[in-house]
Structure 1
């Protein structure tokens, strides 16, 4: 199994969630062993996808360099990770990735259009060897050894529509597209009003998020899945964990996980080389582990 990139450049234009302005997003192929690199075209700054380049995790995952940032990267990264793409240049002309419909479905369509191609270099994956956990109060995220890639997520909200939800994902590109990609980000009306008072979420609307008041979903079309909320949390987690910089094999589990906890988990994982090993997809064992990315 070889490393992959996209066959041709593709682009789209969408609205930025926080500023509400149009953002042009362009994806370009990159040579083998380059990884994922973000580029702020408007200021000429490149930002490699690395945990140490994360500068904020409060409302979204934000990377930065030399004082310039790119926000809300997790939905796009979630799709890129699901497609097993190793090398890619991501170009934006503003400080955030367009939100599209609040899910990663549009990015999956863009990657389908771009198509993936193999490169002349072996694919590498990270195998989780030891359990790694980040816990804050009753909230936690953790990675565990496994020869498969699975995500387990539980959320609990004091809201009649959400309450407690749990979802298990046996990861593959196809299960991701069918069960996760269409799940939209969500928020509460009082939070949206507060954010707008601070000059944030100016591009947010019922077109790109599930919004709830105290009792119900405000979107006239309703939910795409009865448990769309926890499915979106898995979508976010997949994007956040891509900051490791390499596809991994193991099990991810979370209760009330967040961008911040996910970021801390990637740092804790990489802090000790005994937590993992990086293997080339050459041996029969490694090929079996990598079936999720085939």
Structure 2
């Protein structure tokens, strides 16, 4: 069955790129509602923004959705990953500004908030997107692909010159709560050399060593070091799940990404939906539902973070 959150969950913090304070509340929603954002600071006009692949306004360092009136919400990937990873299909997310709070740079706080309120089953079946044949997109030496599979898996590889990151690869079956246990606490990361460039371009205004992993050569500059030796690739997988959640329904397929980012994953969804032979919509039975992200997770599985 489709689900929603049982009661509202509120979050407050600053935007990673804008540096502006933000308050966000995830509210329950009815079956077939999907995930929508509502800008509570917009008094006139359309304040509703769909969390959907065709509303994405591509930016290099985050995922931003925008409605037909130009009202937008950015850096949505972590909360979208938390909703997908907890198995929440329907929610109205009220936010008082243009950017989701970054919190600690991971999805852990969103996951805690969602699971603390609980997930409510609704009287409507889950429909999923079943991948039937490969779909692939490339940008330079980066690529992403979806392949046929009976469940969602994510296989990701990255390559960075900084020895603190280097070459990393990880694959996970995303069913049975693996997102919550394995990925949800992994933080966004960047190279120290990139920080000044981002700020000069109006980005990372709210970034600190407490809400991002910053590396320089073989050193991790953030206090406490890494939460996982391969935290960087785990975070890229977290981002990929959040971006795939914009498909509008759970995906039954294998996602593979090599040096892929937000824009490339959105390119992949756009190519998927203009390739009718590559997918079909299916109503999930009990066996299929058990293979979806978030099924069976509980608060005790959330990793403890400092």
The C-alpha deviation readout for 1:221-245, integer Å capped at 9, x for no partner, is: 1000001000000000000111101
5+ long unaligned stretches in structure 2 = 297-306
Cα distance in structure 2, aligned partners of 1:99 and 1:173: 26
Aligned to 1:29: 28
> Aligned pair 1:233/2:236, yes or no?
yes
CA distance in 2, matches of 1:175, 1:289: 11
Match of 2:300 in 1: none
Distance between the aligned counterparts of 1:290 and 1:11, measured in 2? Answer: 26
Number of aligned residue pairs: 292
Deviation of residue 201 (structure 1)? Answer: 1.1
Give the CA deviation at 1:258.
0.7
Report the alpha carbon displacement of residue 173 of structure 1 after superposing the two structures with TM. Answer: 5.0
Cα RMSD (Å): 1.5
Instruction: Provide the residue aligned with 2:303 in structure 1.
Output: none
In the other structure, the counterpart of 1:14 is 13
1:176 positional shift? 1.0
Q: What SS does the corresponding residue of 1:117 show, helix, strand or coil?
A: strand
In structure 2, the partner of 1:54 is 56
Matches within 5 A, 1:55-204: 55-65=57-67, 66-172=69-175, 174-204=177-207
Q: More deviation in 261-270 or 51-60?
A: 51-60
Match for residue 251 of structure 2?
A: 248
The answer to whether residue 214 in structure 2 is matched with residue 211 in structure 1 is yes
CA distance in 2, matches of 1:109, 1:286: 26
Q: Is the 8 A contact 1:281 1:290 kept in 2?
A: no
Structure 1 residue 198: deviation in Å? 2.8
CA distance in 1, matches of 2:137, 2:92: 31
Native 8 Å contact 2:189 2:212 kept in 1: yes
The change in CA–CA distance for 1:170 and 1:213 in structure 2 (over 3 A counts) is same
> Is residue 257 of structure 1 aligned with residue 260 of structure 2?
yes
Partner Cα distance (1:238, 1:46) in 2: 23
CA distance in 2, matches of 1:174, 1:181: 10
Q: Deviations for 1:2-37, whole angstroms, at most 9, x for unmatched residues?
A: 110111112121111122222001011111111101
The answer to whether the Cα contact below 8 Å between 2:29 and 2:92 also exists between their aligned partners in 1 is: yes
Q: What's the CA shift for 1:86?
A: 1.1
CA deviation vs aligned residue, 1:196-229 (integer Å, no higher than 9, x gap)? 2233211100110000123411012100000100
Question: 2:161 and 2:236 mapped to 1: Cα distance?
Answer: 17
Q: Is the 8 A contact 1:149 1:292 kept in 2?
A: no
Distance in 1 between residues matched to 2:289 and 2:15, nearest whole Å = 39
Give the secondary-structure state (helix, strand or coil) at the position aligned to 1:42: coil
Secondary structure of the corresponding residue to residue 165 of structure 1: strand
Change (3 A) 1:182 1:144: same
Aligned pair in 2 of structure 1 residues 292, 13: CA closer, same or farther (>3 Å)? closer
Q: Distance in 2 between matches of 1:146 and 1:250?
A: 4
Distance in 2 of aligned mates of 1:226 and 1:213? 16
Q: In the alignment, which of 219, 222, 225 is matched to residue 225 of structure 2?
A: 222
| C-alpha deviation, 1:287, in angstroms | 4.5
